[in-house]
C-alpha cells in the first residue's frame, strides 16, 4: 500500500502493457478494463497476488474469483471434463460477458476457487484486456475493482476513487461498453443454472446449448445471488414506471429530501452502461435517494432489475 494514488495509464500504448506485465509478475494488482466492469486483476499463477485481492476488496474468501483467459483455446489448460454444450457456449459467446463454471484443472490454485473443485472462466471482450492476456501466457483473476458489496467501477477514474491507494496502476480502456457484470452459468451440475443475470440472456444460452436451463436452486454461491449487493451510500428505491417515480420524487421533495430519478427504460443498453456511474454520481452529489424505474424484459433488463433490487435491499435499515 502506498500514499500515492494509482497512476492511470493509457491501455492503447505498448509501454502500458509492458508496465502492467511487470507489475503482475511482481505479484502486484492492477486495474483492468473489460467490457462489463473494471477488474482488480492478479496473475492467476500468483497465490500471493490472489490473496491480496481478498484483502484489498475486503471480500470474504468463500466468494471465488472469475478467471479471465486470452481465448477459447486456453480453456483446455484450466478446465477438465468440459461438456460439449459448454464448449459450444464458450465458442459462441467468447470473447463476451458469459462466465462458465467448470471442473478446474490442476493449474487453478485453491485461493482462486476458495478450495472448490470448480472454477468460473470467461474471455473478456475488450481489446486492452485481450492484448494483455495474450502477452502473459497465464490467466488473470479479476473481480470488480471496488470494495465488497459496493458499486462496481465502469471507468478508470472510478477504480482510482475506490482503490487508488492500494494499487500501482490502472490500465485505461475507456468507459465499459456493457456496464454490468457477466452472466454466470453453472455447467457442473445435472441441470445448467444461471447464478447471476447479465447481458447474455437465458433464451440466447438455451438456443446455443440446445438445453433447458433449470431454475436456480437459490443457494448463495455467487455475489449475484446475495440479497444485498451493488450498494451506493444513498438509498435506492425501485418503482415500476415513470409516473410512480415522479410521484415519489414529489413526495420526497415536499419532505425536504433530495431525490433523483433514474429512468432509461426505453434503452436498456444505455441504462446498463450508465447505471453504476449514475449511482456513483448520486453519492458524490450527496443525493439522499435514487428512485430507479425497473425496466421490463429479459437479458440486460433482467440484469438491471437484479442489480437495482439488490442495491435497494442493501439500503433497507
Query: What is the contact surface with ligand AMP in residues (CB under 6 A)?
Result: 63-66, 101, 113, 116, 118-120, 143-144, 181, 184, 195, 221-223
CA 158, 164, 167, 173 dihedral sign is positive
| Smallest separation (angstroms) from ligand AMP to the CB of 117 | 8
Beta bridge partner(s), residue 166: none
Cβ-based nearer residue to Mg ion, 34 or 144: 144
Cβ-based nearer residue to ligand AMP, 155 or 188: 188
| Smallest separation (angstroms) from ligand AMP to the CB of 116 | 5
> What are φ and ψ of residue 208, in 5° steps?
-80, -40
Is 146 in contact with 29 (CB distance < 8 Å)? Answer: no
| Smallest separation (angstroms) from Mg ion to the CB of 315 | 17
Helical segments of 94-154, H only = 110-113, 127-136
Cβ-based nearer residue to ligand AMP, 158 or 221: 221
CA–CA separation, 104 and 200 (whole Å): 23
Residue 154 touches Mg ion, criterion: CB under 5 A: no
Residues 6+ apart with CB under 8 A from 316: none
Residue 34 touches Mg ion, criterion: CB under 5 A: no
Cβ-based nearer residue to Mg ion, 99 or 193: 99
CA–CA separation, 122 and 97 (whole Å): 7
From the list Mg ion, ligand AMP, none, which binds 77 (C-beta under 5 to 8 Å, kind-based)?
none
Residue 182 touches Mg ion, criterion: CB under 5 A: no
E strands present in 116-192 = 118-122, 140-141, 169-172, 183-186
Coil, helix or strand at residue 80: strand
CA–CA separation, 274 and 268 (whole Å): 10
Residue 188 touches Mg ion, criterion: CB under 5 A: no
β-sheet with 259-262: strand ranges across: 235-239, 289-293, 259-262
Cβ-based nearer residue to ligand AMP, 20 or 223: 223
From the list Mg ion, ligand AMP, none, which binds 65 (C-beta under 5 to 8 Å, kind-based)?
ligand AMP
Cβ-based nearer residue to ligand AMP, 65 or 282: 65
Specify the DSSP element, H or E, that contains 66. strand 66-68
Coil, helix or strand at residue 97: coil
Cβ-based nearer residue to ligand AMP, 66 or 300: 66
Count of residues near Mg ion by CB under 5 A = 1
From the list Mg ion, ligand AMP, none, which binds 119 (C-beta under 5 to 8 Å, kind-based)?
ligand AMP
Select the residue whose beta carbon is closest to ligand AMP and give its number.
Answer: 143
Among 144, 154, 155, 193, binds Mg ion (CB under 5 A): 144
Stretches 15-23, 54-62, 138-146, 261-269: which one binds Mg ion (CB under 5 A)?
138-146
The binding site for Mg ion (CB under 5 A) comprises: 144
Amino acid at each position: 500500500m502506498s500514499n500515492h494514488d494509482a497512476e492511470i495509464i493509457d491501455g492503447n500504448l505498448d509501454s502500458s502493457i509492458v508496465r502492467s506485465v511487470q507489475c503482475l509478475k511482481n505479484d502486484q494488482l492492477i486495474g483492468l478494463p473489460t467490457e462489463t466492469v473494471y477488474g482488480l486483476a492478479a496473475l492467476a499463477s500468483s497465490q500471493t497476488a490472489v490473496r491480496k485481492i481478498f484483502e484489498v476488496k475486503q471480500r470474504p474468501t468463500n466468494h471465488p474469483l472469475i478467471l479471465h483467459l486470452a481465448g477459447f483455446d486456453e480453456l483446455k489448460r484450466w478446465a477438465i471434463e468440459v461438456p460439449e454444450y459448454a464448449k459450444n457456449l464458450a465458442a459462441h459467446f467468447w470473447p463476451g460477458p458469459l462466465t462458465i463454471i467448470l471442473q478446474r484443472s490442476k493449474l487453478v490454485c485453491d485461493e482462486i476457487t476458495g478450495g472448490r473443485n470448480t472454477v468460473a472462466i470467461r474471455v473478456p471482450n475488450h481489446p486492452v484486456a485481450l492484448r494483455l492476456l495474450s502477452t502473459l501466457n497465464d490467466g488473470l483473476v479479476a473481480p470488480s475493482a471496488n470494495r465488497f458489496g459496493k458499486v462496481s467501477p465502469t471507468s478508470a477514474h472510478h477504480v482510482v476513487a475506490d482503490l487508488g491507494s492500494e494499487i500501482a496502476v490502472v490500465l485505461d480502456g475507456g468507459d465499459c461498453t456493457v456496464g454490468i457484470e457477466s452472466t454466470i452459468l453453472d455447467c457442473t451440475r445435472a441441470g445448467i443454472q444461471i447464478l447471476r443475470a447479465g447481458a447474455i440472456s437465458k433464451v440466447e444460452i438455451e438456443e446455443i446449448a440446445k438445453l433447458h436451463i433449470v431454475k436456480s436452486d437459490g443457494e448463495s454461491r455467487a455475489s449475484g445471488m446475495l440479497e444485498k449487493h451493488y450498494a451506493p451510500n444513498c438509498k435506492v428505491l425501485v418503482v415500476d414506471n415513470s409516473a410512480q417515480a415522479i410521484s415519489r420524487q414529489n413526495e420526497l421533495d415536499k419532505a425536504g429530501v433530495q431525490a433523483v430519478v433514474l429512468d432509461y427504460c426505453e434503452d436498456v443498453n444505455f441504462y446498463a452502461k450508465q447505471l453504476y456511474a449514475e449511482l456513483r454520481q448520486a453519492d458524490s452529489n450527496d443525493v439522499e435517494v435514487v428512485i430507479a424505474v425497473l425496466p421490463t424484459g429479459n437479458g440486460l433488463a433482467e440484469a438491471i432489475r437484479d442489480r437495482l433490487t439488490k442495491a435497494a435491499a442493501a439500503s433497507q435499515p
